[in-house]
């Protein structure tokens, strides 16, 4: 199986999952939207977005689906299949519409747009994203004040998914430090090598720098 990836947030998530699970995949840096690359990747993902898992039969795209598949393939409960599954899915669903979405809004303005020359940072959108961040962070702070991880007593995919944009906080500058339990949880994730440095040893060009 081949996992096509880039250093952007969702592909990074998929690589971190694969390395955490020690899945038997080959990693290949890819740029489906680069000149001359579209036809190669269109049959694997008609959206031409990463990550993509090329496997026997049909390819699989979207980081959550890839995480589910690799967890099953490796016999891991990282993607919960026991009584914790509904709670895990709840956090994945809530996060993508709340905490992860807010992080994405701020990172898009302060990071992605400037990094790729898409346009100027719109401060009004940053402020909206920060308001949503604080609202969602209060919910996470309350939950994480009484537990180490989001689901049970061990890390789950819900934790990786919730933290999708936090490795890029040098650009987004989200005020994680305002929330002690949230900060502790982030630092706990950073202790996991596969999360901290998923690209170690891989051919993976750095992201373009953000203009000063």
pLDDT of the residue at 1: 95
Give pTM, 2 decimals: 0.96
At residue 147, the pLDDT reads 95
The span from the CA of 59 to the CA of 53, in Å, is 6
CA pair distance 202, 188, nearest whole angstrom: 24
Q: What is the pLDDT of residue 172?
A: 98
Distance (Å, whole) CA 17 – CA 158: 11
Domain ranges of the chain: 2-79, 85-195
Domain 2-79 in CATH 3.40.50.720? The answer is no
Segments of the chain scoring below 70 in pLDDT: none
pLDDT digits 0-9 by tens, 76-96? 999 999 999 999 999 999 999
pLDDT of residue 212: 77
What is the architecture, at CATH level 2, of domain 85-195? Up-down Bundle (1.20)
């Amino acid at each position: 199986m081949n996992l096509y990836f880039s250093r952007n947030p969702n592909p990074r998530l998929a690589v971190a999952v694969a390395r955490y699970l020690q899945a038997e995949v080959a990693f290949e840096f890819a740029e489906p939207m680069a000149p001359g690359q579209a036809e190669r990747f269109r049959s694997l993902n008609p959206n031409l977005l990463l990550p993509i898992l090329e496997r026997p039969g049909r390819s699989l795209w979207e980081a959550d689906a890839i995480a589910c598949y690799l967890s099953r393939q490796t016999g891991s409960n990282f993607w919960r299949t026991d009584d914790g599954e509904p709670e895990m899915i709840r956090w994945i669903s809530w996060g993508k519409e709340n905490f992860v979405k807010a992080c994405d809004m701020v990172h898009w303005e302060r990071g992605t747009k400037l990094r790729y020359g898409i346009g100027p940072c719109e401060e009004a959108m940053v402020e909206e994203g920060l308001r949503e961040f604080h609202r969602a962070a209060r919910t996470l702070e309350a939950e994480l004040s009484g537990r180490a991880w989001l689901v049970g007593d061990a890390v789950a995919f819900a934790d990786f998914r919730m933290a999708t944009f936090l490795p890029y906080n040098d650009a987004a500058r989200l005020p994680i430090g305002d929330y002690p339990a949230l900060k502790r949880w982030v630092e706990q994730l950073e202790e996991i090598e596969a999360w901290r440095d998923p690209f170690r040893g891989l051919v993976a060009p750095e992201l373009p720098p953000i203009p000063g």
